[in-house]
Amino acid sequence: MAETLLLSSFSCCYCGGGVKGRNRKSLRTVFSLTAYRQGRTSITPIRPLPDSLDSNFALSSHPSPLTSLGLRYVHPRPAPSPPLAVDSTDHFPQSEGLPEDYEKWDSITAKLSAAANIPFLLLQLPQIILNAQNLLSGNKSALFAVPWLGMLTGLMGNMSLLSYFVKKREKEVVVVQTLGAVSIYVVLCQLAAAEAMPLPHFVATSAVVVIGLILNFLSYFGLVSAPIWRFWEDFITVGGLSVLPQVMWSTFVPHIPNSILPGTVAFVLAIAAVVTARMGKLSEKFVKFMGLVSGWTATLLFMWMPVSQMWTNFLRPENIRGLSASSMLLAMMGNGLMVPRALFVRDFMWFLGSTWAVIFYGYGNIACLYCFNCISKEFFLAATVGLVSWLGMAIWRDSVAYGHLSPLRSIKELVVGRP
């Protein structure tokens, strides 16, 4: 079994000397180092070497063709045992036998993320069925109780996170976000049929959803050009930055004046930031930050949902009986199933959004229902024990997969990054 590494990852130095013209140019290449467990090492060029140089030779203490060409090779540190293929996004424990646990937990967390589709689908399905029944019976007025603007905000969040996870190649979560976007769009179609959503808004939304789903599908398989994908990323970045402050402002109306000023100001600033970035007038660090904005704005939109719900519960506690305990439990389960995967891949944004939704949206509303005697004590205790046990298990199991002695090490790596 061999391990393939890039020389640039080690302390390697190539200094040209005594080579001219085409030979010098052709030697400016990247080599791949193949280290075998038997201790034999060889260098194979990715691009062809000059005809005078044999491309398959063994390194030893004797002079090599590289030496005669004025190239110096500095031997890297020995690779850890067992040898494994490593890239910048993977992390394998250094202890013998642990990679098997790592790969096993990798597979399990991916399947758990895929299983999140079940509670999320069950969460939206009752509303779709109820809307269909009201439409078939001619009771269109009942659909006016469903806020199309709130559904549209959720749809935008799903589309932004879909693009984020497409870039990360997390196919299980890509399916979750796709089903979330499609299910919300079905509800919007029902609202448009009942004339509860303005037709121009529905047409524009339909165009964005169709184009967005096609572009994300093509991007996942590498079939979309970079300029088109950048334009889509800029679009969802501007949209997310414009909607987030407006939604946050609207939560506290009528205690504050009803205004579109927050959204308008955010829209102008977002346009200016995107245009400036594309003109190359921003630092590379800021451009990289802009690439993460759409994912963060979508996460913050979903994180704001429990804040808005808690604020409503505080202002009108009598309306809390309208909350469904089973819906809150499904929301807690769906987000909870994605927590282990977010921790495993060390995605702080994903972990924060999922954990926040589990604690403050699902469990937080269950706690409110219990405080107002809307659910039984047994239901509340079962939800509490299940939540604590699940989060504790996820952190402990992650530390085992990575070979850490303390579960807190996993949390530290999640927040500050791996050393």
Among candidates 306, 408, 291, 288, which has minimal Cα distance to 354?
A: 306
Q: What is the pTM of this model?
A: 0.70
pLDDT by residue (tens digit) across 104-115?
999 999 999 999
**Per-residue model confidence (pLDDT) at position 144:** 87
pLDDT by residue (tens digit) across 180-202?
999 999 999 999 999 989 999 99
Segment 332-347 mean pLDDT: 95
**Per-residue model confidence (pLDDT) at position 289:** 79
pLDDT by residue (tens digit) across 31-85?
333 333 334 444 444 444 444 444 444 343 444 443 333 433 344 444 444 433 3
**Per-residue model confidence (pLDDT) at position 283:** 80
**Per-residue model confidence (pLDDT) at position 81:** 40
